[in-house]
Amino acid sequence: MKFQTLVFDFDGTIADTLGETRIIFNQIAPDYGIRQVAEHELDGLRHLSLKQLLDHLDIPKRRVPALISRGTSMMRANITQLQLIPGMPKTLTELRRHVRSFGILTSNATPNVDLFLRAHGLRDQFDFISSTSKLTGKAKHLRAIRKTFSLGPQDLLYIGDELRDVKASQKAGVPIAAVTWGFNSRESLAASGPDYLFDKPADFLRLLHES
């Protein structure tokens, strides 16, 4: 494989957290004067960028850090009960054999990710877990990861399920693989211009045939 390091988003990419995230959001939304999200709305929300999503739900940007902090703390109670994306364990195990390092860059809390991976027997696959409390702070972290591991721009691949993941990678100057089983829709992800677009975890194995 031409990439030395693979860095994954967590929510929606490795872990199936969308349902739990909506439940938690609806529990705390009234405390911030924010309306709740009905399940039937989710399909429509999948086409929106982060800015469009915040505008649609009338969430002030100043509220976002507090929502993330409280939400991730609440998620810890059930994190070990949440499920992996089907097919992900086998794919991760195979990919790990062909790269120098594996990592996670997420807006979730590091302890949550650690607990989840340990519950599913995958913690040893990952060399690091990096977390950012800012929804738009991933580009800075991707550049820092490159520096830490002495990687060239094309040595690292970031893998995520949201338009903001694509935007962060492009801003950081690193390739991005967008996965269509997470939050944002296939159509919106494709339009954002990712380097790769994968519809199921097994599609990652195509990377093994690139040089």
Clarify whether residues 46 and 92 are in a common domain: no
pLDDT attached to residue 65? 86
Clarify whether residues 72 and 86 are in a common domain: no
> Looking at the predicted structure, is the pLDDT value of residue 209 above 90?
no
Clarify whether residues 9 and 23 are in a common domain: no
Clarify whether residues 182 and 108 are in a common domain: yes
Clarify whether residues 86 and 26 are in a common domain: no
% of the chain at pLDDT higher than 90: 82
pLDDT one-digit tens code per residue, 99-148: 999 999 999 999 999 999 999 999 999 999 999 877 668 999 999 999 99
Residue 61: pLDDT band with limits 50, 70, 90: confident
d(CA 14, CA 16): 7
Clarify whether residues 97 and 63 are in a common domain: no
Clarify whether residues 181 and 114 are in a common domain: yes
Q: Is the dihedral of CA 199, 186, 182, 68 positive or negative?
A: positive
pLDDT attached to residue 211? 65
Clarify whether residues 34 and 96 are in a common domain: no
Query: pTM, whole model, 2 decimals?
Result: 0.93
pLDDT one-digit tens code per residue, 147-199: 999 999 899 999 999 999 999 999 999 999 999 999 999 999 999 999 999 99
Clarify whether residues 73 and 155 are in a common domain: no
Domain range for 49 = 18-79
Check which CATH number belongs to the domain holding 109 and give it: 3.40.50.1000
* Mean pLDDT of the 81-104 span: 95
Average pLDDT of the chain?
Answer: 93
Of 67 and 134, more confident: 67
Clarify whether residues 98 and 184 are in a common domain: yes
Clarify whether residues 45 and 63 are in a common domain: yes
Number of domains in the chain: 2
Last residue of a domain, one of 79, 110, 128: 79
Clarify whether residues 109 and 186 are in a common domain: yes
5 vs 2, 58, 59, CA distance in Å? 9, 38, 35
d(CA 155, CA 149): 10
Tally: H helices and E strands in the chain: 9, 8
